[in-house]
């Protein structure tokens, strides 16, 4: 091979290497500035995970506010509950933490996750019969699940909780939003929810954590619960959504036993979740004041709301434990309202 041909081959090789280097640098630039252009969308959406406050927060002002919200969600009683140092800061009336229901600080699917929740407000809610804000929804939990009183909407604590929810709601792929909304779906058994059957299931699957007396576990009276009480004086009141058997059974199916059940792989069957929800809610608990004011339009009241008044003739017992299908059929026939809970 003569010198001219050798030079030609060397030149082609240099240009090829140079071209590959340029393409690689362009790829790195796009990956840094606009990753969705170079990463397969299906893979990125599938692998996407909610933000983690333990690792994804910096030291900016809003990050500090979000971090405070995270602490309020995970250590509620220490900051705004009975364990708060100042009496005036005690808005929660029990020693639960928000994440006792909104698991993994609101990041777990199937547990009324906060992921994407900010985008759903303002939202119409039948319990108040009006469009409500995210702040009003938080205060609904404060008065019911936390058995306390409302947080002022301009308070630092409320701003922090909302900031945390908004932070978790940012950049959620459209294809994943539905996954984090609400609870697991169940097929309601066409029978009364039975606390006797529920006790057997509770003994097998639940009392290891929540104890035989349902009072949960905590290191001491001055510390938050490791596992929350499910009835008694230090838990959600009778106006909370979790006091409705259908809602409780949906939560239980997708999340309990804790660290075993997931939305995709529940441990309990629909029937088991249904009956154990009845057992848990068969015990005494705090009573919310003025429950008659809930659902100004009584036709919008969930069929499993265990306190009256109602605009039907079904008994209080049936509204609490079912069977719920006859009540649902009544509302669809009389008012054209199709209810699922």
Query: Residue 44: pLDDT band by 50, 70, 90 thresholds?
Result: confident
Residue 45: what pLDDT?
A: 84
Residue 304: what pLDDT?
A: 97
- Mean pLDDT across the chain, nearest whole number? 91
Segment 234-247 shows an average pLDDT of 98
Whether 246 is in a domain gets the answer: yes
Domain boundary among 130, 145, 180: 180
**Residue appearing with tokens 């709301």:** 305
Q: Which residue has the higher pLDDT, 28 or 313?
A: 313
Are residue 159 and residue 214 in the same domain, yes or no? no
Query: Residue 31: pLDDT band by 50, 70, 90 thresholds?
Result: low
Cα 1–chain centre separation: 74
Whether 333 is in a domain gets the answer: no
Q: What is the pLDDT of residues 117-158, one digit of tens each?
A: 999 999 999 999 999 999 999 999 999 999 999 999 999 999
CB atoms inside a 10 Å sphere around CB 265:
8
Cα 9–chain centre separation: 64
> Phi and psi at residue 111, in whole multiples of 5°?
-130, 45
Whether 310 is in a domain gets the answer: no
List, in sequence order, the alpha helices (H) in the chain: 3-33, 41-47, 61-74, 76-80, 103-106, 134-143, 156-168, 195-205, 207-210, 245-255, 270-280, 316-321, 325-335
- Identify the CATH number of the domain in which residue 227 sits: 1.10.760.10
Half-sphere exposure of residue 182: CA atoms within 13 angstroms, side-chain side: 11
Give yes or no for a contact between 198 and 280, defined as CB atoms under 8 angstroms apart: yes
Maximum pairwise Cα distance, the chain: 104
Residue 26: what pLDDT?
A: 57
Burial profile 231-252: b = 16 or more Cβ within 10 angstroms, e = fewer: beebbbbbbbbbbbbbbbbbbb
Query: Residue 19: pLDDT band by 50, 70, 90 thresholds?
Result: low
How many angstroms separate the CA atoms of 44 and 180, rounded?
Answer: 17
Residue 21: what pLDDT?
A: 60
Token pair in block for residue 123: 């939202």
- Is the pLDDT score of 104 beyond 80? yes
Whether 20 is in a domain gets the answer: yes
Half-sphere exposure of residue 19: CA atoms within 13 angstroms, side-chain side: 6
Are residue 87 and residue 151 in the same domain, yes or no? yes
CB atoms inside a 10 Å sphere around CB 256:
22
Residue 68: what pLDDT?
A: 98
Are residue 68 and residue 175 in the same domain, yes or no? yes
Residue 38: what pLDDT?
A: 47
Are residue 135 and residue 217 in the same domain, yes or no? no
- Is the pLDDT score of 10 beyond 70? no
Percent of the chain with pLDDT over 70: 87
Give the structural domain span for 103.
Answer: 61-180
Are residue 247 and residue 165 in the same domain, yes or no? no
- Is the pLDDT score of 81 beyond 60? yes
Terminal C-alpha separation, the chain: 85
Domain count of the fold of the chain: 3
Whether 44 is in a domain gets the answer: no
The reply to whether the predicted model has a pTM over 0.75 is yes
Token pair in block for residue 120: 């759903």
How many angstroms separate the CA atoms of 187 and 135, rounded?
Answer: 32
Are residue 173 and residue 65 in the same domain, yes or no? yes
* Lowest mean pLDDT across 16-30, 199-213, 266-280, 305-319: 16-30
Whether 69 is in a domain gets the answer: yes
Q: How far is CA 227 from CA 222, 241, 254, in A?
A: 15, 19, 17
Segment 209-229 shows an average pLDDT of 96
CB atoms inside a 10 Å sphere around CB 286:
19
Segment 52-62 shows an average pLDDT of 90
Q: What is the pLDDT of residues 86-95, one digit of tens each?
A: 999 999 999 9
According to DSSP, residue 60 is labeled S
């Amino acid at each position: 091979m003569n010198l001219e041909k050798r030079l030609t081959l060397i030149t082609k090789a240099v240009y090829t290497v140079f071209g590959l280097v340029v393409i690689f640098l362009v790829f790195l630039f796009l990956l840094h500035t606009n990753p969705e252009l170079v990463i397969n969308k299906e893979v990125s959406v599938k692998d996407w995970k909610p933000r983690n406050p333990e690792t994804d927060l910096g030291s900016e002002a809003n990050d500090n506010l979000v971090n405070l919200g995270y602490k309020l969600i995970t250590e509620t009683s220490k900051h705004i509950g009975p364990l708060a140092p100042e009496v005036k800061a005690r808005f929660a009336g029990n020693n639960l933490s928000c994440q006792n229901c909104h698991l993994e600080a609101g990041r777990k699917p199937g547990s009324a996750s906060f992921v994407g929740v900010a985008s759903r407000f303002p939202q119409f809610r039948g319990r108040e019969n009006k469009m409500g804000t995210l702040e009003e929804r938080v205060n609904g939990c404060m008065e019911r699940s936390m058995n306390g009183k409302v947080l002022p909407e301009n308070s630092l604590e409320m701003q922090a909780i909302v900031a945390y929810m908004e932070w978790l709601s940012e950049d959620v792929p459209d294809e994943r939003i539905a996954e984090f909304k609400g609870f697991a779906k169940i097929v309601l058994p066409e029978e009364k929810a039975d606390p006797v059957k529920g006790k057997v299931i509770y003994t097998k699957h639940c009392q290891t954590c929540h104890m035989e007396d349902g009072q949960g576990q905590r290191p001491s009276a001055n510390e938050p619960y490791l596992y929350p009480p499910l009835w008694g004086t230090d838990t959600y009141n009778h106006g909370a959504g979790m006091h409705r058997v259908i809602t409780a059974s949906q939560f239980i199916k997708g999340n309990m036993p804790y660290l075993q059940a997931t939305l995709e792989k529940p441990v309990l069957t629909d029937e088991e979740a249904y009956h154990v929800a009845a057992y848990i809610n068969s015990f005494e608990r705090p009573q919310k004041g003025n429950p008659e004011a809930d659902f100004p339009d009584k036709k919008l009241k969930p069929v499993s709301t265990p306190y009256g008044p109602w605009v039907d003739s079904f008994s209080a017992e049936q509204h609490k434990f079912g069977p719920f299908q006859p009540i649902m059929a009544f509302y669809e026939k009389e008012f054209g309202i199709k209810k699922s809970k």
